[in-house]
A and B are shown apart, each in its own frame.
Chain A
Amino acid sequence: MKYLLSLAVRSAWNRKLTLGLTLISMALSVALLVGVERVRQDAQDSFEQSVSGTDLVVGARTSPVQLMLYAVFHIGDATNNIHWQTYKDIASNPAVAWTIPVSMGDSHHGFPVVGTTTDYFAHFHYGESAPLAFASGIPFAGLFDTVIGAEVADHLGYHLGDKITLSHGTGDIGLTEHADKPFLVTGILARTGTPIDRTVHVSLEAIEAIHLDWQSGAKIPGFSIPAEFASKFDLTPKEVTAILVGLKSRAGVFKMQRFVNEYHAEPLLAVLPGVALDQLWQVVGIAERALLAVSGMVVVVGLCGLIAVILASLNERRRELAILRSVGARPLDIFLLLSAEGLFVTLSGTLIGMVLLTAVTAIFAPLIQAHYGLIIAPKFISFDELGLLGIVMGISLLASLAPGYGAYKLSLSDGLTPRI
């Protein structure tokens, strides 16, 4: 048995060029498969950690997924807003530790504008409870100060001290500018890999201020309040779009959720972000699963190539197999000899693929994190991937039986004198 293995290895080495090429294709397809799975897993993790440490997200009554879409991802619009009094009721609930009110509806070159309070920078967490960090500058303090996300700064080339104007409504074209009230960039956030990167943050008061001379979503003709006088008005918000709520104790989350959902003054909805994000991923995750399926097929194609190469070599090896038979090898030995080859190539292909992937990840992880905010954890192999590789090995084991069986039949029909 041990000698058979050494024979298999030496025979494979004798055909190292063709087998080497199939080995490389095996290694690449395994690296692709596990790489896709890894990116998929990390993308899902980073997606589901778009917001962390927040116990409840509260908005006007709608579907949980919709609420998450506009409150966390700033996609789409809220059907309704929440009254300021409601916000105060929730914020003053004894179970509540902190709240982050968010007010949406404006944009800047397609990037959503979020009106909030400085609590945002203190309490908002993402990933494995990472706080927001400033790449440069400080939180907004003045009425027309703004803090922009990393992607906004990169994409539009903004620096501290730049002046920007906001547009009414969301989208990129055909919007009315709040041109009379420009904002000063006082802070740029570090990259998070979450929707925060694409967000322009201003204070809730600023949102009120730029809409002072507006009514029903349009500028009042012939009426304008200059920026310098805006602060003289009562800028207490009348409404917010959503509230992120942190509780003193996580244990009270369902009680608080019920309090919000049964709130008497207006119909509200409170969702647990983890659950809703999971639901949302079920929708957006389809593309990732399709990608995984495609890379799975690449592995199957690689395996087919391998088996084809081994089967093709079978004819050249009939003499060799007959010699082994003549010195006493059983047909079973011949079967094992050929099956071992396929298995040996997949095994080493898988190993090389994993080493390759680890090296590539190690080299490119900083780059990927800087450009896409996707954090790829440096690791050789995870438990889930082990399962995936187990499936690959299982299939290759089955596939390797094909040349083994071919050789077995051949050695029975050829006997000691192959007819070539």
Chain B
Amino acid sequence: MKTPVIQIKDLAFRYPKAGGICIDIQELNADAGDRLFIYGPSGSGKSTLLGLLGGVLSPERGTISLLGHELTKMTPPARDRLRADHIGFVFQQFNLIPYLSVTDNVLLSCRFSSRRRNRAIASGKSLLDEAARLLDHLDIAPELRHRPVTQLSVGQQQRVAAARALIGGPEIVIADEPTSALDAERQTAFLDLLSRECIAANATLLFVSHDRRLASGFNREISLPSLNLVQAEQEAA
């Protein structure tokens, strides 16, 4: 039997110093190539779930396994390494390091993971070639590659962030409301690009959003409020 890419069982989490449990998930699985749309209004625990999946937060109870590695049994540095090697993140906005060029921002993923660096080199001829290839695919014009990222539009910035998440072929791509700063037309365009690249890389895409209209084009849709047994009202922050 194939190992699921993401496997969550009986997961509970509470912030230290904060009151009650804010995440309580019985089960969540995702296989290779799955494209999950996780829908949830703000306050439903999206950010917390991402922190748990990234191995930055530790659950109070239950297990999270990524590619067969059980996060709860790993040391924090090992979890950091797992995240670096196997997960690409795209955030809401301000995804890029302002003092690095477009290409350097894309290559950032390869700086902290030799696995992704080697895979990127294997895929292209060199790191720069692979970054250029991905940026081409994501419609970033060649003349923008060496510009400071602050000169880019929000849409361009999000596509550069997607290139960074995809370089080195991570098995998991997690996108946290990456389109909320874009207008409707560009949202669809961005989603299409992201989906296409994830399919090409056979990566599992976890797309988190409060906007249910974006759900088309994903092969699974999950509502976080129905997944999370803790009621949203309880953790009004």
Contacts from A to B (Cβ < 8 Å): 3, 10-11, 13-14, 319-320, 322-333, 415-417
Contacts and interface: CB of A to CB of B under 8 A. Distances in A.
A328 B51 contact: no
A312 B237 CA distance: 26
B96 A415 contact: no
A337 B40 CA distance: 35
B54 interface: yes
B130 interface: no
Closest 8 CB pairs of A and B: A328-B84, A14-B99, A328-B112, A415-B56, A415-B51, A326-B89, A417-B47, A330-B80
B149 to A, nearest CB: 11
Interface in B56-113: 56-57, 76-77, 80-81, 83-85, 89, 91, 94-100, 108-109, 111-113
Contacts of A329: 80, 84, 112
B99 A326 contact: no
Q: Which range holds the interface residue count of chain B?
A: 20 to 34
B207 to A, nearest CB: 15
19 contacts: A10-B100, A11-B97, A323-B97, A326-B54, A327-B84, A327-B109, A327-B112, A327-B113, A328-B80, A328-B83, A328-B112, A328-B113, A329-B80, A415-B51, A415-B57, A416-B47, A416-B51, A416-B56, A417-B91
B164 interface: yes
Contacts of A326: 54, 83, 89, 91
A417 B176 contact: yes
Given A327-B84, A327-B164, A328-B80, A3 B96 contact: no
Given A10-B100, A417-B47, A325 B56 contact: yes
Contacts of A10: 99-100
A14 B85 contact: no
B64 to A, nearest CB: 14
B50 interface: yes
Contact of B94 (A3, A319, A330): A319
A417 B176 CA distance: 10
Nearest to A325: B56
